[in-house]
Amino acid sequence: MRGISAIPTYVVMQPTTLCNLDCSYCYLPYRQADNRMSVAVAEAVASSIGGWARTGRFSVVWHGGEPLAAGREHLGRLLEPFSDSVEHHVQTNATLIDDAWCEFFAAHEMRVSVSVDGPRERNGDRVNRGGKPAYDQIRRGVDTLRRHGLPFSALCVVGRPEPGQATELYDFFLDLGCDVLGINVEELEGVNTRDNRHPAEAVTGFWAELVSAWRREPRIHLREIEWSLRYAAAVLDGTEDDVLPRRLDPIPTIAHDGSVVLLSPELAGFHDPRYADFTSGNVLTTPLARSWPARSAHPGSGSSWTGSRPAGRPARISASVAVPTRRTATSNTAGSTSPRRTTAVTARCAYWTECWIMPEITNPRLSEGGEADPVTARVRDAESGLAALLHEAETARRERAESTTKDGSAVCAWNHFENIPTFYNWNNRPR
């Protein structure tokens, strides 16, 4: 990978910070406050992405808080500025889904992904504001989706990987009826400060067991597994350049107030005394495309870069970005960025200065410099063992009659835009 792409394939938008649940592992601040996105913010984003949407598949992912907590009327107004060429997706806890919401999804051709952590006993972290389990409400929402014939994806958080869990979860989601399943192993982030470190053998054992469960009955498009296999197949065919883009998708996340953060939606709304508020602009004052530096502004993004890794910490980056307004060290408020702009701003955030030398970004594109890519080498070394698994994955895709696009990915809420290195860096979890 060579830096950040100038053109994203999707944006994440926060229609409200409010969430009607109070999940133990949630990383978001202010989820008790109903800070709603204005139509002006949606209009600014829509005007910025018009050209991108005309050149290929482009998605807007509505993420919260709980997006449905914004209400159908308000969310509908936020959708209006976007052209018909834009796909809309929503990540929801499903507790508010009723017949009216299903009619809304159908009318707007909105793809739905449901957050649920497995059977009832695995959902202890997903509770309402009174501390009561939300499982029955979640299932009621899912049942409503199914009654309306609306396909959906599922996103599951695994808090404590343990033997037998992967099989249990996969069987649950087979019965739930989701078309696509994504698995996130819980991590320390945002306001979630509980110790959730896991032994490496527990995590690798979980994924190995999940692969076995999927091979037994591959009716679900299993996000992590099938993307990894797709990349492995491309490496063996010598076509990995068609699968792995040359630059990271910037994953621009637009918070309710129009402020923009890159690479990690989890950073929206946070402040750190070392790095300020992580914002790189605001769509109300600056076009979205100018919220991250031009490719030539970064080492690793220009065509003349040799791919060699800088020694030690990278040099300061000069770029035209908004200077965040500084706050107290205890503040997490997602305020506006300062209108003052500069052409020589120190990139205080480690995400800006260190991402260019992370091996999972730079190594896949170091062939020009002669340095071997260890991931590619491991895939080629395992070619004989991968043959059967790759064949099974391709057969499963055909039998599912999966709705795909030219990029070969399933149509779902959290799948097509998660290219492998972007997904790795966003989640920073074992894969």
Taking only the tens place, the pLDDT of each residue in 274-326 is 767 778 889 999 999 888 765 433 333 333 222 222 233 233 222 333 333 33
Position 326, amino acid: R
Pair 137, 91: CB distance under 8 Å: no
Write down the pLDDT at residue 244.
Answer: 65
Pair 421, 248: CB distance under 8 Å: yes
Q: What percent of the chain has pLDDT over 90?
A: 36
Q: What is the C-alpha separation between 199 and 209, in angstroms, rounded?
A: 16
Residue spans of the domains in the chain: they are 9-431
Question: Please, what is the average pLDDT of the chain?
Answer: 74
Q: What percent of the chain has pLDDT over 70?
A: 69
Write down the pLDDT at residue 246.
Answer: 63
Q: What are phi and psi of 346, to 5 degrees?
A: -75, 125
Helix pair 420-427, 223-237: axis angle to 10 deg: 140
Residues in the chain: 431
Tokens 């807007």 appear where? 60
Q: For residue 350, what pLDDT band results from cuts at 50, 70 and 90?
A: very low
Write down the pLDDT at residue 189.
Answer: 52
Q: Which residues pair with 154 in a beta bridge?
A: 114, 181
The pair of structure tokens assigned to 146 is 């199914």
Does pLDDT of 272 surpass 80? no
Closest residue by Cα to residue 305 from 362, 223, 261: 362
Higher pLDDT, 57 or 157: 157
Mean pLDDT lowest for which of 8-17, 250-259, 278-287, 335-344? 335-344
Taking only the tens place, the pLDDT of each residue in 226-245 is 888 888 888 898 887 776 66
Write down the pLDDT at residue 109.
Answer: 93
Q: Please state which CATH class domain 9-431 belongs to.
A: alpha beta
DSSP strand pairing (259-261 vs 253-254)? antiparallel
SS3 of 115, please? strand
pTM: 0.77
Write down the pLDDT at residue 342.
Answer: 25
CB atoms within 10 A of CB 87: 21
Q: How far is CA 256 from the centre of its chain?
A: 18
